[in-house]
Amino acid sequence: MLATPSSDLCSTALGFKAFLEGSYQKHNVVHVTSGSFVPLLKNSIWFVVRGMVKLGAVSVHGDELVLGLVGPNEPFSAAFTNVEAYEAVALTDCDLLCCNLRELEESPQLALALARAMTARYRQAESMLALLGLRRVEDRVRGFVELLARDFGEPCEDGLRLNLRLTHQEIASALSTTRVTVTRVLGQLRDEGWLQIDASRHLVMTRTGRH
């Protein structure tokens, strides 16, 4: 799995970021601290300007489900899902913009940007489904790190740094496995030199891990 964004997605993201930055004059940016729940308002869509949001739910058996991650330039909303007990939690300190559906109807630029951003979300969802189809848990964990690096990684001296913190349990919930197994596999990847943990406890996929 290629761990670098394609040029067309990069240019789209930069253009959308500029658009959101320009929208500061018309919207109040909401700052949400790490660990806080983001209210899912009816007939409204949130856009992440900075930071990372985790989308999840709780199963009928009380298990936590990780349904996706939303990064800069990407939208999320209760209108996008039929999952019950759906929730959004800030993984990092975030700056968010909230737009109502009427604004989408009145702004072709915003509507087009939303369509492009939803395309990226759709690709992420398909990638997650493909990972869940892998028989070996080791391949799922490795592929999950590659997916995060591709979508949210920032270049650093050693490779690509993930400036977000997912617990081993959250990774396990996303990959339908156990926390103990995730801890074991991440340890193996570190021993191989494929993965590092920096001084801030962020995961770094090393240049050895990049294809």
Buried b (16+ CB within 10 A) or exposed e, 42-63: eebbbbbbbbbbbbbeeeeeee
Radius of gyration for the alpha carbons in the chain, expressed in angstroms and rounded: 17
Rounded Cα distance between 193 and 143, Å, is: 16
Sequence ranges of the chain with CATH classification 1.10.10.10: 133-206
Mean pLDDT by 10 residues, the chain (211 residues): 37 54 62 92 87 87 83 87 87 88 80 82 87 92 91 87 87 91 94 89 78 48
pLDDT at position 143 is 93
State how far the alpha carbon of 39 is from the alpha carbons of 44, 74, 157, 201, in Å: 10, 16, 37, 29
pLDDT at position 39 is 92
Tell the CATH topology of 7-128: Jelly Rolls (2.60.120)
pLDDT at position 24 is 47
Is the whole model's pTM more than 0.75, yes or no? no
Instruction: Identify the burial level of 38 via C-beta atoms within 10 angstroms of its C-beta, where 0-12 means exposed, 13-18 middle and 19 or more buried.
Output: buried
pLDDT at position 153 is 87
pLDDT at position 2 is 28
pLDDT at position 18 is 61
Q: Kindly report the CATH number that applies to the domain delimited by 133-206.
A: 1.10.10.10
pLDDT at position 20 is 61
Q: How far is CA 158 from the centre of its chain?
A: 22
Sequence ranges of the chain with CATH classification 2.60.120.10: 7-128
